Structure 1
Amino acid sequence: MKRIAYFILTFALETEKIIRDQFVFPQPRPKMKEANQGACDRESRRTVLMYPAPGAGHLIPTVEFGRLLVSHGLAVIVVQRGLPAGNATAPASSLYGNGDASASPFLSFHYIPEPPLPHGVPEGDHVAKVFELTRASNPELRDFLRVTSPAALLLDFFCYSAADVAAEIGIPAYFFFLSCTASLAVLLHLPVIHGQNDVSMRDLGGELVHVPGVTPIPAHDLPAAFLDRSSLSYKHFLALSEQLCKSHGVIVNSCRSLEPRATDAVASGLCTPPGRTTPPLFCVGPLVQSAEVAEKQGEECLAWLDTQPKASVLFLCFGSMGRFSAEQIKEMAAGLEMSGQRFLWVVRSPPGGNEQPGEPELDVLLPNGFLDRTRDRGLVVTSWAPQREVLAHETVGGFVTHCGWNSVLEAVMAGVPMLGWPLYAEQRMNKVFLVEGMQLGVAMEPGPDGFVTAKEIEGKVTWLMSSDGGRELRERTLVAMREAREALSAGGDSTAALLQLVQRLVSRADAGDLLGGGIDVVESVVASIHEGRGRSSDVISSEPMDDSSAKEQLRVVGANLGSYNNGVSEVVGDSNDVKAQNTSSASIGEEGDAEGVVVNKTKASCWTRRVRIGNAPEERDANPSRVPALEASMRAYAENKGGTVVNPSLGTSFDTVEEAYEFYNLYSWEMGFGVRYAKSRLNVHRKKCMQEFVCACAVGMILGNKMRLTLSIGHL
């Protein structure tokens, strides 16, 4: 500890002396100006491609996140299917929304032609259709990726097949996951659930499905695509689960305060199937639509709300695809009238089969005289309302929602409690998370035929708007709102996660480089293997490897470290090397299986087992000719003028554990997380032979979770 104290006190002076005497210190980089100031041209920015699935529910959050990346110095191209011919790139300001929702020269759209639907897609399986059309678009996407050579490709989960295209070209692929973290946990765990059952989920009825960190889910509330294990859509989701684990990271539109258990479970690898790698997790939300241009109906809504008492209005809106039968619409009207509560209701035409329904005819759909009888306390609008602005209005006190994740987040950010009425996709599962997990809503309970009665609607609406239980629910929602806004503030969890992600994208760093250990140090074992100095015993491979193949196999190990894996990674030294040189080797391996890594638990022909006996010094004698790790790192920074000043690069080694700790602690100061000592291990002679460093990440993605880096000393 004396060395640590001395190091901290003298670091500034020593750094100044080394740099003054031997280097030309690079000038500070000028601060990036805002994109809309036109200070930087596109060539000066790293370009990121985002590839959403069709539909407003996918496009809107994608563009909002793209705007956020642009504000942090990146250029973003949103790739979409849709135009039958001509791959034209156009500014997003002319294509998105109804106005200036994305007005920036650094955010644009690129359209690729809509391919023909491949053969063999079942009629009526919309989910499989989207997956297959995306796969059929891969050749067009491949051509565009080769032309643009982006720093990264951010994929909607419907576009998972494009991850293979990115890997083929050498472009890091991330997933921008538009649902909640709990849904991600279920998707990662799907292969485990699949292996636990021999029948389809629909045959389990109300039996609870258990996923680490997630509220138990009745099987019938899982997404429809999960219910038939023989369906094409189900097989796509199994393949998607595998691709998530192979990705460079998953970006989730949520925050830890909203889903702490699910966030921790995903990040710590509890949801990942055995033998697969846990992807790095970036919780950057809640991201909601930043602006909507009020059309005539929108102006009418907001003007009417201005005349209502505070927190007195119930808002009913069910998304861009939410439609009810004519009978259910009449029942909803009856329930609202019976409740006596104020309401703003967006009514859409009933489903029209294969034809797109037109504007609803309210005189036909609603009960006779309903509009006249409720004129003083209700407003019915057709098809559309500016949902974000309505929810943010102080007179709105409740929200009946289809439980689409975008709508849930908008309600949370406005502090409005919810009545859940799920309709399709993952909305029934979201309802479980909303009601049982987050406890920010209650559910409308349909009958066995799925029909919700007027009595049920009256009871739940009255409870939400005028009971003590409803007021308690509103208070919990306001707390969630404040915590979510804090996560998005400077220094908040989501902001810190975003900054980590941007750092990776800007530097095109692979997984692990930001988390003290990373791939650079993992690669030090490659040099040891190649030169015959270090041999891992729980073996990466049983065959000799050259540098390139060894690096590829160890890449996944580094990704696991970079994602706060809850396993323990041990530095392994060869006993012969220790005897000969009396040194402490520094290399990293992983305990447990990982995707793409062959783990051999028996002695292989060219590897030796760990030896947990013997006596070795706790440090090696100082070598005057060896350049200390810190000095070597600063020299490299001065020469390259990029990256971090303190960088655990290839071949980094230390004389003592204390020196390693000092080095990683300084690296952590640059990157934004903390380092501390954790568990150690003694050999049979009561000499310390292993020491863990714990990176307790204070930057917010997974507070309290840890990534362990274990160093060995002498014999293991």
Structure 2
Amino acid sequence: MKRPAQLVVVPGPVIGHIVSAIEIAEQLVARDDQLFITVLVMKLPYDQPFTIADSSISHRINFVNLPEAQPDKQEAIPKHGSLIRILVENHKTHIRDAVVNLLSESDQSESMSRPRLAGFVLDFLCATLVDVADEFMVPSYAFFTSNASLLALLFHFQLLRDEGGIDITEFTRSSAELAVPSFINPCPAAVLPGTFADKEITESILNYTSRCRQIKGILVNTFLELDLHALHYLDFDDKIPPVYPVGPLLNLKRCDENKGSDIFRWLDDQPSLSVVFLCFGSMGSFSEAQVKEIACALEHSGQRFLWSLRRPPPKGKIAMPSDYADLNAVLPEGFLNRTAPIGKVIGWAPQAAILAHPAIGGFVSHCGWNSTLESLWNGVPIATWPMYAEQNLNAFQLVKELGLAVEIKLDYRKDSDVLVSAEDIERGIRQAMERDGDVRKRVKEMSEKSKKTLVEGGSSYSSLERFINQI
């Protein structure tokens, strides 16, 4: 009889990473009834404590909210990239104690049914926790919540730094096009992750990458048919641990929770594929001037729209965007009345459920990886408007490498002074909404592939099976 196994999963302290960690945990326990998972959750100092209210999650997945470990004062909080590194380091003791408690509880159960500690699954941002796994003499695996193309880029840059002595931050100050093994086309420096402009954060990211060479395997939230070129590169390099593409990991079961809301009653009244949805992720917000350009584009286009509009946090304060108390204060005068027959402006949006609605025909997106996978799954073409982190690179891959999106911007940065014109926004919306366009056809084909990859015989199904077999 196979002895039960326990995996400790540590997601990055960002909601998108936590959601992806829950999805991989659910996939794992669904495929192996002798597997138990404990998810250790850290909290960013400006975010709400994580709660899970979904009763459908398996009883073999346990969540532990770790004690907080961060500066007490808002002004003492460092920049975002450094904050995560410091937060993970400060949580090492709490993580160690949580695993000791887990083992202690396990020791009190009957010996034959006691799950053995089989390993740690660490978010890429938590790669330094390999040290903690080593203390318990169990293997570490990484969980990479973005795509294989970014992962391959990081391994390439880490080698350039460690073996070539190259300062990666210099790339971001150039207008060069770079030959990167994970892409077919030359990669413009302008679409590299914005974090590479910061020397301290770049060092941290490349150090995480170096630590990932020491682990037993890397789970990646992508699938072979989408990331073929990069996955071939990763498989070819024998100095990189085995890579397991197991995506798309999507929160599909929870798409029905908001179906009775005002948003969905409005969508139900719209024709099929007639609405463009604008949503920019949990951190996405714009200046008042940019909001007015978006509003002008929507009104001039005459396109039906659903717009998730969030208020930016006060300047200089690290916080999440919030909903506007009065939308009229930021929108052009009379905009809501003039567009009422064809449009709806909302605050926070249940994005995954909206993208699944048959009325949605296009998506103006920041190109976060979870959002990208949700859009492709539902066959919705994207008009790209990346804002931070690796989103520019995702947009480049979608538009230039794969032909799965249209471009509004590829090189936009959230904190820049660039104002994207109403004309550029309108053009992107019109292209994304083309009923018979080549992009829509390719997105529909990729949607079908994304669904086949998760069923028995599919590439991600088989990849997850290989991972489970060697736990």
**Same fold by TM (over 0.5)?**
yes
Kindly state the Cα deviation for residue 358 of structure 1 after the two structures are TM-superposed. 4.3
Contact 1:249-1:280 at 8 Å conserved across structures = yes
Q: Measure the CA separation in 1 of the matches of 2:202 and 2:171.
A: 12
Structure whose CA Rg is larger: 1
1:664-709: per-residue Cα shift (whole Å, max 9, x none)? Answer: xxxxxxxxxxxxxxxxxxxxxxxxxxxxxxxxxxxxxxxxxxxxxx
* Partner in structure 1 of residue 193 of structure 2: 223
Q: Measure the CA separation in 2 of the matches of 1:295 and 1:48.
A: 29
* Partner in structure 1 of residue 254 of structure 2: 292
* Partner in structure 2 of residue 70 of structure 1: 29
Is 1:465 paired with 2:430? no
* Partner in structure 1 of residue 113 of structure 2: none
Contact 2:258-2:264 at 8 Å conserved across structures = no
Q: How does 1:198-277 map to 2 (within 5 A)?
A: 198=167, 200-201=169-170, 204-214=173-183, 215-228=185-198, 231-269=199-237, 277=239
Q: Measure the CA separation in 2 of the matches of 1:337 and 1:113.
A: 48
Q: Select 1:487's aligned residue among 428, 449, 453.
A: 453
Q: 1:400 to 1:377 in 2, by over 3 A?
A: same
Q: Measure the CA separation in 1 of the matches of 2:193 and 2:426.
A: 28
Q: How does 1:427-442 map to 2 (within 5 A)?
A: 427-442=391-406
1:523-554: per-residue Cα shift (whole Å, max 9, x none)? Answer: xxxxxxxxxxxxxxxxxxxxxxxxxxxxxxxx
Kindly state the Cα deviation for residue 356 of structure 1 after the two structures are TM-superposed. 5.6
TM-score normalised over the length of structure 1: 0.58
Q: Measure the CA separation in 2 of the matches of 1:450 and 1:485.
A: 38
TM-score normalised over the length of structure 2: 0.87
Q: How does 1:377-392 map to 2 (within 5 A)?
A: 377-382=342-347, 384-392=348-356
* Partner in structure 2 of residue 142 of structure 1: 96
- Find the residue that maps to 1:292 and give its secondary structure: helix
Letter in 2 for 1:81: M
* Partner in structure 2 of residue 334 of structure 1: 296
Contact 2:309-2:323 at 8 Å conserved across structures = no
- Find the residue that maps to 1:287 and give its secondary structure: coil
* RMSD of aligned alpha carbons: 2.6
- Find the residue that maps to 2:456 and give its secondary structure: coil
Is 1:158 paired with 2:113? no
Kindly state the Cα deviation for residue 139 of structure 1 after the two structures are TM-superposed. 2.0
- Find the residue that maps to 2:261 and give its secondary structure: helix
Kindly state the Cα deviation for residue 283 of structure 1 after the two structures are TM-superposed. 0.4
- Find the residue that maps to 1:151 and give its secondary structure: strand
Is 1:100 paired with 2:55? yes
Is 1:60 paired with 2:19? yes
Q: Which has the higher contact order (CA 8 A, sep 6+)?
A: 2
* Partner in structure 2 of residue 554 of structure 1: none
Q: Measure the CA separation in 2 of the matches of 1:503 and 1:142.
A: 26
Q: How does 1:493-512 map to 2 (within 5 A)?
A: 493-505=459-471
- Structure 1 residues without counterparts, runs of 5 or longer: 1-28, 31-43, 85-89, 506-716
- Find the residue that maps to 1:476 and give its secondary structure: helix
Q: Measure the CA separation in 1 of the matches of 2:168 and 2:379.
A: 41
Letter in 2 for 1:227: A
* Partner in structure 2 of residue 167 of structure 1: 134
* Partner in structure 2 of residue 366 of structure 1: 331
Q: Measure the CA separation in 1 of the matches of 2:384 and 2:174.
A: 21
Q: Select 1:302's aligned residue among 264, 278, 286.
A: 264
Letter in 1 for 2:227: E
* Partner in structure 2 of residue 477 of structure 1: 443
* Partner in structure 1 of residue 42 of structure 2: 81
Contact 1:146-1:169 at 8 Å conserved across structures = no
Q: 1:83 to 1:364 in 2, by over 3 A?
A: closer
Contact 1:349-1:358 at 8 Å conserved across structures = yes
Q: Measure the CA separation in 2 of the matches of 1:223 and 1:405.
A: 13
Kindly tell me the number of residue pairs found equivalent between the two proteins.
441
* Partner in structure 2 of residue 282 of structure 1: 244
Letter in 2 for 1:240: Y
Q: 1:389 to 1:154 in 2, by over 3 A?
A: same
Is 1:130 paired with 2:84? yes
Q: Measure the CA separation in 2 of the matches of 1:221 and 1:201.
A: 14
1:39-88: per-residue Cα shift (whole Å, max 9, x none)? Answer: xxxxx63111110111211111110111111112211111012499xxxx
Q: Measure the CA separation in 1 of the matches of 2:245 and 2:17.
A: 17
Kindly state the Cα deviation for residue 319 of structure 1 after the two structures are TM-superposed. 0.8
Q: Measure the CA separation in 2 of the matches of 1:392 and 1:297.
A: 11
Q: Measure the CA separation in 2 of the matches of 1:460 and 1:112.
A: 43
Letter in 1 for 2:193: P
Q: 1:392 to 1:358 in 2, by over 3 A?
A: closer
Q: Measure the CA separation in 2 of the matches of 1:401 and 1:199.
A: 28
Contact 2:38-2:62 at 8 Å conserved across structures = yes
Q: Measure the CA separation in 2 of the matches of 1:324 and 1:142.
A: 40
1:382-404: per-residue Cα shift (whole Å, max 9, x none)? Answer: 1x222112111111111111010
Is 1:48 paired with 2:20? no
Contact 1:298-1:385 at 8 Å conserved across structures = no
* Partner in structure 2 of residue 113 of structure 1: 67
Contact 1:188-1:244 at 8 Å conserved across structures = no
Q: Measure the CA separation in 1 of the matches of 2:79 and 2:177.
A: 26
- Find the residue that maps to 2:419 and give its secondary structure: coil
Q: Measure the CA separation in 2 of the matches of 1:296 and 1:410.
A: 17
Q: Measure the CA separation in 2 of the matches of 1:198 and 1:99.
A: 46
Kindly state the Cα deviation for residue 380 of structure 1 after the two structures are TM-superposed. 1.1
Q: 1:124 to 1:132 in 2, by over 3 A?
A: closer
- Find the residue that maps to 1:466 and give its secondary structure: coil
Contact 1:294-1:386 at 8 Å conserved across structures = no
Q: Measure the CA separation in 1 of the matches of 2:37 and 2:407.
A: 39
Is 1:184 paired with 2:148? no
Contact 1:298-1:386 at 8 Å conserved across structures = no
Q: Measure the CA separation in 1 of the matches of 2:353 and 2:172.
A: 42
Contact 1:345-1:381 at 8 Å conserved across structures = yes
- Find the residue that maps to 1:246 and give its secondary structure: coil
Kindly state the Cα deviation for residue 240 of structure 1 after the two structures are TM-superposed. 1.0
Q: Which of 195-204 and 175-184 deviates more?
A: 195-204
Kindly state the Cα deviation for residue 128 of structure 1 after the two structures are TM-superposed. 1.2
Q: 1:248 to 1:122 in 2, by over 3 A?
A: farther
Q: What percentage of residue pairs aligned between the two structures are identical?
A: 35
Contact 1:398-1:418 at 8 Å conserved across structures = yes
Q: How does 1:573-612 map to 2 (within 5 A)?
A: none
Q: Measure the CA separation in 2 of the matches of 1:137 and 1:320.
A: 24
Q: Measure the CA separation in 2 of the matches of 1:432 and 1:285.
A: 20
Q: Measure the CA separation in 2 of the matches of 1:82 and 1:58.
A: 12
Q: Measure the CA separation in 2 of the matches of 1:199 and 1:107.
A: 40
Contact 1:342-1:378 at 8 Å conserved across structures = yes
- Structure 2 residues without counterparts, runs of 5 or longer: 104-116
1:619-654: per-residue Cα shift (whole Å, max 9, x none)? Answer: xxxxxxxxxxxxxxxxxxxxxxxxxxxxxxxxxxxx
Q: Measure the CA separation in 2 of the matches of 1:498 and 1:166.
A: 22
Q: 1:56 to 1:203 in 2, by over 3 A?
A: closer
- Find the residue that maps to 2:276 and give its secondary structure: strand
